[in-house]
Chains A and B, each alone.
Chain A
Amino acid sequence: MNLTAAAAGLLLVLLSAGLLLGLSLLKRKSKASFRDIPAFTRLQKAIGTAVEDGTRLHFSLGRSDLVTPRSAASFATLGMLRRIAEVTSASDRPPVATSGDAALAILTQDTLQAAYQAAGAGQQYRPTTGRLTGLTPFAYAAGALSVIRDENVSANILAGGFGVEVALLTDAAERENAFALAAADDLAAQAVLYASAQEPLIGEELYAAGAYVQAGPTHTASLHVQDILRWLIVLVMLGGAAMKLVGVL
Protein backbone atom coordinates (compact mmCIF):
# COMPACT_ATOMS: atom_id res chain seq x y z
CA MET A 1 0.00 0.00 0.00
CA ASN A 2 1.44 3.40 -0.92
CA LEU A 3 1.81 6.15 1.66
CA THR A 4 -1.08 8.33 0.38
CA ALA A 5 -3.55 5.42 0.34
CA ALA A 6 -2.43 4.30 3.82
CA ALA A 7 -2.76 7.85 5.21
CA ALA A 8 -6.22 8.28 3.62
CA GLY A 9 -7.36 4.88 4.96
CA LEU A 10 -6.08 5.63 8.46
CA LEU A 11 -7.75 9.05 8.38
CA LEU A 12 -11.07 7.47 7.37
CA VAL A 13 -10.83 4.90 10.18
CA LEU A 14 -9.92 7.56 12.77
CA LEU A 15 -12.72 9.87 11.59
CA SER A 16 -15.24 7.01 11.71
CA ALA A 17 -14.03 5.92 15.15
CA GLY A 18 -14.27 9.49 16.48
CA LEU A 19 -17.76 9.96 15.05
CA LEU A 20 -18.90 6.57 16.38
CA LEU A 21 -17.66 7.28 19.89
CA GLY A 22 -19.04 10.83 19.90
CA LEU A 23 -22.47 9.91 18.56
CA SER A 24 -22.73 6.86 20.85
CA LEU A 25 -22.24 9.13 23.86
CA LEU A 26 -24.41 11.99 22.55
CA LYS A 27 -27.37 9.89 21.40
CA ARG A 28 -27.26 7.39 24.29
CA LYS A 29 -30.53 8.61 25.77
CA SER A 30 -32.36 10.04 22.76
CA LYS A 31 -34.88 7.87 20.94
CA ALA A 32 -33.68 6.88 17.48
CA SER A 33 -35.94 7.12 14.45
CA PHE A 34 -35.19 5.17 11.29
CA ARG A 35 -36.70 4.98 7.84
CA ASP A 36 -39.18 2.16 7.61
CA ILE A 37 -37.78 -1.11 6.24
CA PRO A 38 -40.80 -3.47 5.93
CA ALA A 39 -38.58 -6.56 6.27
CA PHE A 40 -37.68 -5.64 9.86
CA THR A 41 -41.28 -4.85 10.79
CA ARG A 42 -42.33 -8.28 9.49
CA LEU A 43 -39.38 -9.87 11.28
CA GLN A 44 -40.60 -8.52 14.63
CA LYS A 45 -44.06 -10.00 13.93
CA ALA A 46 -42.52 -13.34 12.87
CA ILE A 47 -40.48 -13.49 16.09
CA GLY A 48 -43.60 -12.82 18.16
CA THR A 49 -45.53 -15.50 16.27
CA ALA A 50 -42.71 -18.04 16.71
CA VAL A 51 -42.61 -17.49 20.49
CA GLU A 52 -46.41 -17.73 20.78
CA ASP A 53 -46.71 -20.82 18.56
CA GLY A 54 -43.76 -22.63 20.07
CA THR A 55 -42.06 -22.87 16.69
CA ARG A 56 -38.40 -22.31 16.00
CA LEU A 57 -36.31 -19.45 14.58
CA HIS A 58 -33.50 -20.39 12.23
CA PHE A 59 -30.47 -18.17 11.73
CA SER A 60 -28.21 -18.91 8.81
CA LEU A 61 -24.95 -16.97 8.98
CA GLY A 62 -23.34 -17.98 5.72
CA ARG A 63 -19.88 -19.34 5.17
CA SER A 64 -17.53 -16.38 5.26
CA ASP A 65 -14.01 -17.06 6.47
CA LEU A 66 -13.28 -15.11 9.66
CA VAL A 67 -9.86 -13.96 8.46
CA THR A 68 -11.30 -12.16 5.42
CA PRO A 69 -13.23 -8.84 5.25
CA ARG A 70 -16.36 -10.81 4.25
CA SER A 71 -16.69 -11.92 7.88
CA ALA A 72 -18.20 -8.48 8.71
CA ALA A 73 -21.55 -9.60 7.29
CA SER A 74 -21.59 -12.59 9.64
CA PHE A 75 -20.47 -10.45 12.58
CA ALA A 76 -23.37 -8.07 11.89
CA THR A 77 -25.75 -11.06 11.97
CA LEU A 78 -24.19 -12.31 15.22
CA GLY A 79 -25.25 -8.99 16.82
CA MET A 80 -28.81 -9.62 15.64
CA LEU A 81 -28.65 -13.27 16.79
CA ARG A 82 -27.52 -12.19 20.26
CA ARG A 83 -30.41 -9.71 20.62
CA ILE A 84 -33.10 -12.02 19.22
CA ALA A 85 -31.88 -15.03 21.25
CA GLU A 86 -32.10 -12.88 24.37
CA VAL A 87 -35.66 -11.80 23.52
CA THR A 88 -36.80 -15.35 22.68
CA SER A 89 -35.04 -17.12 25.56
CA ALA A 90 -38.43 -17.90 27.13
CA SER A 91 -39.56 -19.77 24.00
CA ASP A 92 -40.22 -23.54 24.12
CA ARG A 93 -37.92 -24.14 21.19
CA PRO A 94 -34.58 -22.34 21.20
CA PRO A 95 -33.35 -20.66 17.99
CA VAL A 96 -30.99 -22.71 15.82
CA ALA A 97 -28.01 -21.08 14.08
CA THR A 98 -26.29 -22.75 11.13
CA SER A 99 -23.05 -21.71 9.47
CA GLY A 100 -20.63 -22.95 6.83
CA ASP A 101 -17.41 -22.00 8.57
CA ALA A 102 -16.10 -23.85 11.61
CA ALA A 103 -14.80 -20.78 13.47
CA LEU A 104 -18.09 -18.99 12.79
CA ALA A 105 -19.99 -21.99 14.20
CA ILE A 106 -17.99 -21.68 17.45
CA LEU A 107 -18.83 -17.97 17.62
CA THR A 108 -22.54 -18.69 17.12
CA GLN A 109 -22.42 -21.13 20.06
CA ASP A 110 -20.63 -18.54 22.18
CA THR A 111 -23.12 -15.83 21.17
CA LEU A 112 -26.13 -18.02 21.95
CA GLN A 113 -24.68 -18.99 25.33
CA ALA A 114 -23.96 -15.33 26.18
CA ALA A 115 -27.50 -14.34 25.13
CA TYR A 116 -29.10 -17.00 27.36
CA GLN A 117 -26.88 -16.03 30.29
CA ALA A 118 -27.73 -12.34 29.83
CA ALA A 119 -31.44 -13.24 29.83
CA GLY A 120 -30.99 -15.27 33.03
CA ALA A 121 -31.77 -18.54 31.27
CA GLY A 122 -28.27 -20.01 31.00
CA GLN A 123 -29.48 -23.54 31.79
CA GLN A 124 -31.62 -23.56 28.61
CA TYR A 125 -28.60 -23.21 26.33
CA ARG A 126 -27.76 -26.28 24.21
CA PRO A 127 -24.41 -26.40 22.34
CA THR A 128 -26.10 -28.25 19.46
CA THR A 129 -28.17 -25.14 18.61
CA GLY A 130 -25.08 -23.55 17.03
CA ARG A 131 -24.20 -25.84 14.13
CA LEU A 132 -21.67 -26.31 11.39
CA THR A 133 -23.66 -27.84 8.53
CA GLY A 134 -21.02 -28.10 5.80
CA LEU A 135 -17.75 -26.64 4.61
CA THR A 136 -18.43 -26.16 0.89
CA PRO A 137 -21.20 -23.84 -0.39
CA PHE A 138 -23.59 -26.61 -1.44
CA ALA A 139 -22.79 -28.92 1.49
CA TYR A 140 -23.61 -26.02 3.79
CA ALA A 141 -26.85 -25.30 1.94
CA ALA A 142 -27.84 -28.98 1.99
CA GLY A 143 -27.25 -29.16 5.76
CA ALA A 144 -29.22 -25.97 6.40
CA LEU A 145 -32.08 -27.23 4.17
CA SER A 146 -32.77 -30.10 6.55
CA VAL A 147 -33.05 -27.63 9.46
CA ILE A 148 -35.59 -25.52 7.54
CA ARG A 149 -37.64 -28.58 6.57
CA ASP A 150 -37.47 -30.87 9.59
CA GLU A 151 -37.24 -28.72 12.72
CA ASN A 152 -40.56 -26.90 12.85
CA VAL A 153 -39.06 -23.57 11.78
CA SER A 154 -41.49 -20.69 11.27
CA ALA A 155 -39.00 -17.88 10.61
CA ASN A 156 -35.64 -17.89 8.86
CA ILE A 157 -33.07 -15.12 9.08
CA LEU A 158 -30.56 -15.84 6.32
CA ALA A 159 -27.92 -13.15 6.63
CA GLY A 160 -24.18 -13.23 6.12
CA GLY A 161 -21.61 -14.27 3.55
CA PHE A 162 -23.58 -16.26 0.97
CA GLY A 163 -23.20 -17.03 -2.70
CA VAL A 164 -25.99 -17.91 -5.13
CA GLU A 165 -26.65 -21.18 -3.22
CA VAL A 166 -28.75 -19.08 -0.82
CA ALA A 167 -31.63 -19.43 -3.33
CA LEU A 168 -31.98 -23.09 -2.29
CA LEU A 169 -32.61 -21.92 1.29
CA THR A 170 -35.14 -19.22 0.38
CA ASP A 171 -36.95 -21.71 -1.85
CA ALA A 172 -37.12 -24.26 1.00
CA ALA A 173 -38.46 -21.58 3.36
CA GLU A 174 -41.16 -20.65 0.85
CA ARG A 175 -42.18 -24.30 0.42
CA GLU A 176 -42.52 -24.63 4.19
CA ASN A 177 -44.62 -21.42 4.33
CA ALA A 178 -42.04 -19.97 6.69
CA PHE A 179 -41.00 -16.33 6.91
CA ALA A 180 -37.60 -15.58 5.35
CA LEU A 181 -35.58 -12.43 5.76
CA ALA A 182 -32.47 -12.69 3.61
CA ALA A 183 -29.37 -10.58 3.11
CA ALA A 184 -25.92 -11.17 1.68
CA ASP A 185 -22.74 -9.20 1.11
CA ASP A 186 -22.14 -10.66 -2.34
CA LEU A 187 -23.63 -8.84 -5.35
CA ALA A 188 -24.68 -12.01 -7.22
CA ALA A 189 -26.34 -13.36 -4.05
CA GLN A 190 -28.20 -10.06 -3.57
CA ALA A 191 -29.57 -10.26 -7.12
CA VAL A 192 -30.68 -13.84 -6.50
CA LEU A 193 -32.29 -12.85 -3.19
CA TYR A 194 -34.19 -10.00 -4.83
CA ALA A 195 -35.84 -12.58 -7.08
CA SER A 196 -36.28 -15.41 -4.61
CA ALA A 197 -36.65 -14.10 -1.05
CA GLN A 198 -39.80 -12.86 0.62
CA GLU A 199 -37.97 -10.06 2.43
CA PRO A 200 -34.61 -9.27 0.84
CA LEU A 201 -32.25 -6.67 2.30
CA ILE A 202 -30.14 -4.90 -0.30
CA GLY A 203 -26.67 -3.40 0.17
CA GLU A 204 -25.87 -1.94 3.55
CA GLU A 205 -29.33 -2.75 5.00
CA LEU A 206 -27.76 -5.96 6.34
CA TYR A 207 -25.44 -3.89 8.54
CA ALA A 208 -28.38 -1.86 9.88
CA ALA A 209 -30.05 -4.97 11.32
CA GLY A 210 -28.60 -4.48 14.82
CA ALA A 211 -30.09 -0.97 15.08
CA TYR A 212 -33.51 -2.18 13.90
CA VAL A 213 -33.66 -4.96 16.50
CA GLN A 214 -32.53 -2.54 19.25
CA ALA A 215 -29.17 -4.20 19.84
CA GLY A 216 -27.80 -1.06 21.54
CA PRO A 217 -26.94 2.64 21.13
CA THR A 218 -23.67 1.88 19.31
CA HIS A 219 -25.63 0.22 16.50
CA THR A 220 -27.81 3.32 16.18
CA ALA A 221 -24.76 5.58 16.23
CA SER A 222 -23.03 3.49 13.58
CA LEU A 223 -26.01 4.03 11.26
CA HIS A 224 -25.66 7.80 11.69
CA VAL A 225 -21.91 7.57 11.00
CA GLN A 226 -22.60 5.57 7.84
CA ASP A 227 -24.97 8.32 6.68
CA ILE A 228 -22.38 11.04 7.36
CA LEU A 229 -19.66 9.09 5.56
CA ARG A 230 -21.98 8.43 2.62
CA TRP A 231 -22.62 12.16 2.22
CA LEU A 232 -18.88 12.80 2.42
CA ILE A 233 -18.26 10.25 -0.33
CA VAL A 234 -20.99 11.83 -2.49
CA LEU A 235 -19.38 15.26 -2.03
CA VAL A 236 -15.90 13.92 -2.85
CA MET A 237 -17.23 12.19 -5.99
CA LEU A 238 -19.11 15.30 -7.15
CA GLY A 239 -16.07 17.47 -6.38
CA GLY A 240 -13.84 15.08 -8.32
CA ALA A 241 -16.23 15.12 -11.29
CA ALA A 242 -16.41 18.94 -11.22
CA MET A 243 -12.60 19.23 -11.06
CA LYS A 244 -12.26 16.80 -13.95
CA LEU A 245 -14.81 18.87 -15.90
CA VAL A 246 -12.86 22.11 -15.47
CA GLY A 247 -9.58 20.35 -16.22
CA VAL A 248 -7.95 20.53 -12.76
CA LEU A 249 -7.61 16.71 -12.44
Chain B
Amino acid sequence: MRRLFAPAIAIAIGLVVLLGYFLPDYTTIAELRIQIVHWAVILAGVAVLVGVFNLFFVHIEKIRKKQKGSVYSLLLIAALFATFILGLALGPDHSIMRSLFDAVILPVETSLMAILAVTLVYASMRLTRRRSDLMAIIFIITALIILLGTAPLPLFEIPMVGDIIHAWIVNVPAAAGARGILLGVALGTLMTGLRILFGADRPYGGK
Protein backbone atom coordinates (compact mmCIF):
# COMPACT_ATOMS: atom_id res chain seq x y z
CA MET B 1 0.00 0.00 0.00
CA ARG B 2 2.87 2.34 0.90
CA ARG B 3 4.23 1.79 -2.60
CA LEU B 4 1.12 3.48 -4.02
CA PHE B 5 0.39 6.11 -1.40
CA ALA B 6 3.89 7.57 -0.89
CA PRO B 7 4.43 8.48 -4.58
CA ALA B 8 0.83 9.70 -4.97
CA ILE B 9 1.12 12.04 -1.97
CA ALA B 10 4.62 13.21 -3.00
CA ILE B 11 3.57 13.92 -6.60
CA ALA B 12 0.34 15.70 -5.57
CA ILE B 13 2.17 17.92 -3.07
CA GLY B 14 4.96 18.58 -5.59
CA LEU B 15 2.41 19.73 -8.20
CA VAL B 16 0.63 22.03 -5.72
CA VAL B 17 3.93 23.61 -4.63
CA LEU B 18 5.08 24.06 -8.24
CA LEU B 19 1.78 25.57 -9.42
CA GLY B 20 1.54 27.76 -6.31
CA TYR B 21 4.94 29.22 -7.15
CA PHE B 22 3.69 30.56 -10.50
CA LEU B 23 0.29 31.80 -9.31
CA PRO B 24 -0.34 35.09 -7.47
CA ASP B 25 -0.13 34.95 -3.65
CA TYR B 26 -3.86 35.45 -3.03
CA THR B 27 -4.97 32.30 -4.91
CA THR B 28 -5.94 29.15 -2.97
CA ILE B 29 -3.13 27.07 -4.48
CA ALA B 30 -0.52 29.70 -3.62
CA GLU B 31 -1.81 29.86 -0.03
CA LEU B 32 -1.74 26.07 0.13
CA ARG B 33 1.85 26.13 -1.14
CA ILE B 34 2.90 28.48 1.66
CA GLN B 35 1.17 26.22 4.20
CA ILE B 36 2.88 23.09 2.83
CA VAL B 37 6.28 24.79 2.89
CA HIS B 38 5.65 25.74 6.57
CA TRP B 39 4.84 22.08 7.33
CA ALA B 40 8.04 21.05 5.54
CA VAL B 41 10.04 23.39 7.80
CA ILE B 42 8.40 21.86 10.92
CA LEU B 43 9.11 18.34 9.62
CA ALA B 44 12.73 19.33 8.96
CA GLY B 45 12.94 20.38 12.63
CA VAL B 46 11.62 16.99 13.75
CA ALA B 47 14.10 15.35 11.38
CA VAL B 48 16.95 16.96 13.35
CA LEU B 49 15.83 15.01 16.41
CA VAL B 50 15.76 11.78 14.37
CA GLY B 51 19.21 12.70 13.00
CA VAL B 52 20.60 13.14 16.53
CA PHE B 53 19.27 9.67 17.47
CA ASN B 54 20.92 8.29 14.32
CA LEU B 55 24.23 9.93 15.31
CA PHE B 56 23.86 8.46 18.80
CA PHE B 57 23.25 4.90 17.55
CA VAL B 58 26.10 5.06 15.00
CA HIS B 59 28.56 5.97 17.76
CA ILE B 60 27.09 3.47 20.27
CA GLU B 61 27.69 0.74 17.66
CA LYS B 62 31.24 1.99 17.16
CA ILE B 63 31.89 1.75 20.92
CA ARG B 64 30.19 -1.66 21.21
CA LYS B 65 32.31 -3.12 18.40
CA LYS B 66 35.44 -1.37 19.72
CA GLN B 67 36.11 0.06 16.28
CA LYS B 68 38.97 2.43 15.47
CA GLY B 69 38.34 5.84 17.07
CA SER B 70 35.73 4.54 19.54
CA VAL B 71 37.28 6.74 22.27
CA TYR B 72 36.18 9.78 20.27
CA SER B 73 32.71 8.27 19.95
CA LEU B 74 32.56 7.98 23.74
CA LEU B 75 33.63 11.60 24.04
CA LEU B 76 31.00 12.65 21.50
CA ILE B 77 28.20 10.87 23.38
CA ALA B 78 29.30 12.31 26.72
CA ALA B 79 29.39 15.82 25.21
CA LEU B 80 26.02 15.25 23.54
CA PHE B 81 24.38 14.26 26.84
CA ALA B 82 26.04 17.06 28.81
CA THR B 83 25.00 19.71 26.28
CA PHE B 84 21.47 18.29 26.00
CA ILE B 85 20.90 18.21 29.77
CA LEU B 86 22.46 21.64 30.30
CA GLY B 87 20.41 23.03 27.41
CA LEU B 88 17.19 21.65 28.88
CA ALA B 89 17.99 22.90 32.38
CA LEU B 90 19.37 26.35 31.54
CA GLY B 91 17.91 27.19 28.14
CA PRO B 92 19.84 28.01 24.96
CA ASP B 93 20.36 31.70 25.86
CA HIS B 94 22.04 31.08 29.24
CA SER B 95 25.59 32.40 29.59
CA ILE B 96 27.01 28.89 30.20
CA MET B 97 25.43 27.62 26.99
CA ARG B 98 26.79 30.64 25.11
CA SER B 99 30.26 30.16 26.52
CA LEU B 100 30.10 26.47 25.51
CA PHE B 101 29.53 27.68 21.96
CA ASP B 102 32.18 30.41 22.15
CA ALA B 103 34.80 28.25 23.87
CA VAL B 104 34.34 24.94 22.04
CA ILE B 105 32.43 25.05 18.77
CA LEU B 106 33.75 28.38 17.47
CA PRO B 107 37.49 27.64 18.03
CA VAL B 108 37.13 24.12 16.59
CA GLU B 109 35.43 25.41 13.44
CA THR B 110 37.95 28.24 13.12
CA SER B 111 40.80 25.71 13.39
CA LEU B 112 39.24 23.62 10.64
CA MET B 113 38.96 26.77 8.51
CA ALA B 114 42.67 27.40 9.07
CA ILE B 115 43.49 23.80 8.11
CA LEU B 116 41.36 24.30 5.01
CA ALA B 117 43.52 27.26 3.94
CA VAL B 118 46.67 25.12 4.21
CA THR B 119 44.91 22.22 2.44
CA LEU B 120 43.99 24.47 -0.48
CA VAL B 121 47.55 25.78 -0.90
CA TYR B 122 48.82 22.19 -0.83
CA ALA B 123 46.12 21.08 -3.31
CA SER B 124 47.04 23.82 -5.79
CA MET B 125 50.68 22.74 -5.56
CA ARG B 126 49.66 19.16 -6.35
CA LEU B 127 47.39 20.25 -9.21
CA THR B 128 50.14 20.36 -11.83
CA ARG B 129 51.29 16.89 -10.77
CA ARG B 130 47.76 15.50 -11.14
CA ARG B 131 46.77 17.38 -14.29
CA SER B 132 49.61 18.85 -16.30
CA ASP B 133 47.47 20.31 -19.07
CA LEU B 134 46.86 23.84 -20.35
CA MET B 135 43.72 24.32 -18.23
CA ALA B 136 45.62 23.54 -15.02
CA ILE B 137 48.27 26.13 -15.90
CA ILE B 138 45.62 28.75 -16.74
CA PHE B 139 43.85 27.92 -13.44
CA ILE B 140 47.02 28.48 -11.39
CA ILE B 141 48.03 31.68 -13.21
CA THR B 142 44.50 33.10 -12.84
CA ALA B 143 44.41 32.21 -9.13
CA LEU B 144 47.79 33.94 -8.63
CA ILE B 145 46.68 37.10 -10.47
CA ILE B 146 43.45 37.28 -8.45
CA LEU B 147 45.43 36.80 -5.23
CA LEU B 148 47.93 39.51 -6.13
CA GLY B 149 45.14 41.82 -7.23
CA THR B 150 43.07 41.33 -4.09
CA ALA B 151 45.62 40.95 -1.29
CA PRO B 152 46.82 44.17 0.39
CA LEU B 153 50.53 44.24 -0.46
CA PRO B 154 52.73 45.87 2.22
CA LEU B 155 54.98 48.16 0.19
CA PHE B 156 53.61 48.73 -3.28
CA GLU B 157 50.86 47.78 -5.72
CA ILE B 158 51.85 45.82 -8.83
CA PRO B 159 51.04 48.08 -11.80
CA MET B 160 48.04 47.01 -13.95
CA VAL B 161 47.32 43.86 -11.90
CA GLY B 162 44.92 45.29 -9.30
CA ASP B 163 42.97 47.76 -11.39
CA ILE B 164 43.02 46.42 -14.97
CA ILE B 165 43.89 42.70 -15.26
CA HIS B 166 42.12 41.64 -12.04
CA ALA B 167 39.00 43.63 -12.96
CA TRP B 168 38.95 42.26 -16.51
CA ILE B 169 39.29 38.63 -15.33
CA VAL B 170 36.52 39.03 -12.74
CA ASN B 171 34.12 40.93 -15.00
CA VAL B 172 34.62 39.18 -18.34
CA PRO B 173 35.86 35.52 -18.42
CA ALA B 174 34.97 34.65 -14.79
CA ALA B 175 31.50 36.20 -14.96
CA ALA B 176 30.79 34.56 -18.34
CA GLY B 177 32.02 31.16 -17.14
CA ALA B 178 30.07 31.43 -13.90
CA ARG B 179 26.87 32.28 -15.77
CA GLY B 180 27.39 29.33 -18.12
CA ILE B 181 27.91 26.95 -15.20
CA LEU B 182 24.91 28.37 -13.33
CA LEU B 183 22.69 27.93 -16.41
CA GLY B 184 23.77 24.28 -16.62
CA VAL B 185 23.13 23.81 -12.89
CA ALA B 186 19.69 25.43 -13.25
CA LEU B 187 18.75 23.10 -16.12
CA GLY B 188 20.00 20.10 -14.11
CA THR B 189 17.96 21.26 -11.12
CA LEU B 190 14.85 21.60 -13.28
CA MET B 191 15.21 18.11 -14.74
CA THR B 192 15.92 16.55 -11.32
CA GLY B 193 12.74 18.18 -9.97
CA LEU B 194 10.68 16.97 -12.91
CA ARG B 195 11.99 13.40 -12.57
CA ILE B 196 10.87 13.40 -8.92
CA LEU B 197 7.54 14.97 -9.87
CA PHE B 198 6.92 12.20 -12.42
CA GLY B 199 7.80 9.55 -9.85
CA ALA B 200 10.75 8.33 -11.95
CA ASP B 201 13.14 9.18 -9.10
CA ARG B 202 11.81 8.34 -5.66
CA PRO B 203 14.12 9.66 -2.97
CA TYR B 204 11.41 8.81 -0.45
CA GLY B 205 12.02 5.10 -1.07
CA GLY B 206 9.86 2.50 -2.78
CA LYS B 207 10.58 0.46 -5.91
Contacts and interface: CB of A to CB of B under 8 A. Distances in A.
Interface of A is mostly: helix
Interface string A92-107: 0000000000110111
B109 A136 contact: yes
B140 to A, nearest CB: 8
B174 to A, nearest CB: 9
A65 B40 CA distance: 11
A183 to B, nearest CB: 10
Nearest to A227: B187
Given A69-B189, A72-B193, A204-B184, A194 B40 contact: no
B44 A102 contact: yes
Contacts of B200: 24, 216, 218-219
B152 interface: no
Interface string A121-153: 000000110111101101101100010001000
Nearest to A152: B68
Given A128-B61, A203-B181, A16 B194 contact: yes
Contacts of A9: 21-22
Contacts of B206: 114
- Counting chain B residues whose Cβ lies within 8 A of the other chain, the interface size class is 35 or more
Contacts of A111: 203, 205
A141 B47 contact: no
Contacts of B115: 168
Q: Is the interface of B mostly helix, strand, loop or mixed?
A: helix
B120 A196 contact: yes
A159 B99 CA distance: 35
A130 to B, nearest CB: 8
Interface residues of A, number: 79
A146 B72 contact: yes
Contact of A167 (B49, B116, B127, B197): B116
B66 to A, nearest CB: 12
B50 to A, nearest CB: 6
Contact of B48 (A102, A139, A194, A225): A102
Interface string B163-207: 000000000000000101111110111111111111011111111
Contacts of B198: 17, 20-21, 218
B203 A110 contact: yes
B35 interface: no
B96 interface: no
Given A67-B44, A150-B67, A117 B112 contact: no
Interface of B: 18, 21-23, 37, 40-41, 43-44, 47-52, 54-55, 57-58, 61, 67-69, 72, 105, 108-109, 112-113, 115-116, 119-120, 122-124, 126-127, 130, 139, 143, 178, 180-185, 187-198, 200-207
Interface of A: 1, 6, 9-10, 12-13, 16-17, 20-21, 24, 65-67, 69, 72-73, 75-76, 78-79, 102-103, 105-107, 109-111, 113-114, 117-118, 127-128, 130-133, 135-136, 138-139, 141-142, 146, 150, 164-165, 167-168, 170-171, 174, 185, 187, 190, 192, 194-196, 198, 202-204, 206-208, 210, 215-216, 218-219, 222, 225-226, 229-230, 233
